Amino acid sequence: MTEIAWQQKDLLSIADLSAAEIQLVLDTASSFREVSARPVKKVPTLRGKTVINLFFEPSTRTRSSFEIAEKRLSADSLNFSASSSGLVKGESLVDTALNLQAMAPDLIVIRHGHPGVPRMLAERVSAGVINAGDGAWGHPTQALLDAFTIREEKGKLEGLKVAMVGDIAHSRVVRSNIELLNTMGAEVTVAGPRTMMPVAVETLGVRAVYSLEEAIRGADVVMMLRVQLERHKKVMFPSVREYFQLFGLTRERLRSAKRDAIVMHPGPMNRGVEIASDVADGSRSVILEQVANGVAVRMAVLYLLSGARQEAGA
Ligand code: CP
């Protein structure tokens, strides 16, 4: 395992992490992965620690994998429901956070529709804060689980060619993945319709192209992204049929990637829009491995941020 001390109180952005810290999370996740394969999937590592899960946006994978990770580590979890809280009576988010802090949680996991909310919270509470997705800004645990999956499949991150295709402008997954993959020495190409490409995207340290074939030619990793209709303020493409014709990943198109290229998708996936069903379910797809690895990665993040590593003298 990487020999560095974990110093971070919060996990808000991949940009806050060094390559050695990313490596430490991935190595720690490797050691937690076998817990999910045991007949009794539980270790006492976070016994006596309290985690609050605050989800202000829908989630299937992130929310359930944090909850499962917390249970497997024996933490006490509270799932906060915004719709039945004082927020609907006009209480501010800051006051809500301060009241939750008064109950002495060790960690708060938060997903919110507005960028920067997890950082604002982290500045006001002494609990460690984990960003589970903020607007179109960042999704650091998704990038970590994607990196873990790539490393498992390819044995490394450095020097790999990674293509990300789809709604680049509205994807928090893309932003966090670009930060992580650049830090770890991978080569990133992004592709999508011009209407879904951020202005000056190259300044993020990526190559931008406007054709799926060009993006995935010679790629080791092809990561497809959902069109984030809920974040669009106007119509960005003429029809789903045309989008699939231009940017949908089919078996035929996948032939231009490397023969052993893997196919990834962070979910939720829209079959027949950004990816054909036979590719999503095919032998090159590691989409469900990403989900499985998400539990181990979130166990690692909870463990490192809870201070358990220092307490255990690790
Ligand atoms: N990948 C991801 O964040 O999925 P959910 O929205 O289901 O959590």
Residues 147 and 271 in one domain: yes
Ligand 1 atom showing the smallest separation from residue 133 Cα = 3
Q: Are 176 and 14 in contact (CB under 8 A)?
A: yes
Residues 239 and 197 in one domain: yes
Which residue, 154, 134, 144, is CA-closest to 297? 144
Residues 263 and 154 in one domain: yes
Pick the residue whose CA is nearest to atom 3 on ligand 1: 62
Task: Collect all residues with Cβ–Cβ distance below 8 Å to 57 and sequence separation of at least 6.
Answer: 111, 112, 113, 133
Predicted confidence at residue 167, as pLDDT, reads: 94
Question: From ligand 1's centre to the CA of 133, what distance in Å?
Answer: 8
Q: Are 262 and 216 in contact (CB under 8 A)?
A: no
Is 111 designated active site? yes
Is 89 designated active site? yes
Is 7 part of any domain?
A: no
Q: Are 65 and 291 in contact (CB under 8 A)?
A: yes
pLDDT digit string, tens, across residues 242-263: 999 999 999 999 999 999 999 9
Is 127 part of any domain?
A: yes
Is 6 part of any domain?
A: no
Question: From ligand 1's centre to the CA of 312, what distance in Å?
Answer: 32
Cα gap 142→127, rounded to integer Å? 21
Predicted confidence at residue 90, as pLDDT, reads: 86
Is 232 part of any domain?
A: yes
Is 62 designated active site? yes
Residues 170 and 29 in one domain: no
Q: State how many domains the chain has.
A: 2
Residues 132 and 184 in one domain: no
Strand partners, 162: 188, 221
pLDDT digit string, tens, across residues 175-222: 999 999 999 999 999 999 999 999 999 999 999 999 999 999 999 999
Chunked into runs of 10 residues, the chain (314 residues) has average pLDDT values of 82 98 97 95 97 94 98 95 78 89 96 95 95 96 98 98 96 97 98 94 96 97 88 73 95 97 97 96 98 98 85 54
Ligand 1: list residues with CB < 6 Å: 59-63, 133, 139, 142, 266-268
Q: In which domain, by residue range, is 28 found?
A: 14-138+292-313
Residues 149 and 76 in one domain: no
Question: From ligand 1's centre to the CA of 268, what distance in Å?
Answer: 6
Is 250 part of any domain?
A: yes
- Give the Cα-Cα-Cα angle 124, 126, 127 (nearest 5 degrees): 110
Predicted confidence at residue 4, as pLDDT, reads: 82
The 187-191 sheet, strands edge to edge: 207-209, 187-191, 161-165, 221-224, 262-264
**What are the C-alpha distances in Å from 86 to residues 79, 81, 105?**
15, 10, 18
Residues 260 and 303 in one domain: no
CATH classification at residue 109: 3.40.50.1370
Predicted confidence at residue 312, as pLDDT, reads: 55
- Give the Cα-Cα-Cα angle 159, 164, 167 (nearest 5 degrees): 160
**Whole-prediction pTM:** 0.94
Residues 168 and 98 in one domain: no
Q: 10 Å Cβ neighbour count for 60?
A: 10
Residues 271 and 306 in one domain: no
Is 209 part of any domain?
A: yes
Is 163 part of any domain?
A: yes
Residues 94 and 151 in one domain: no
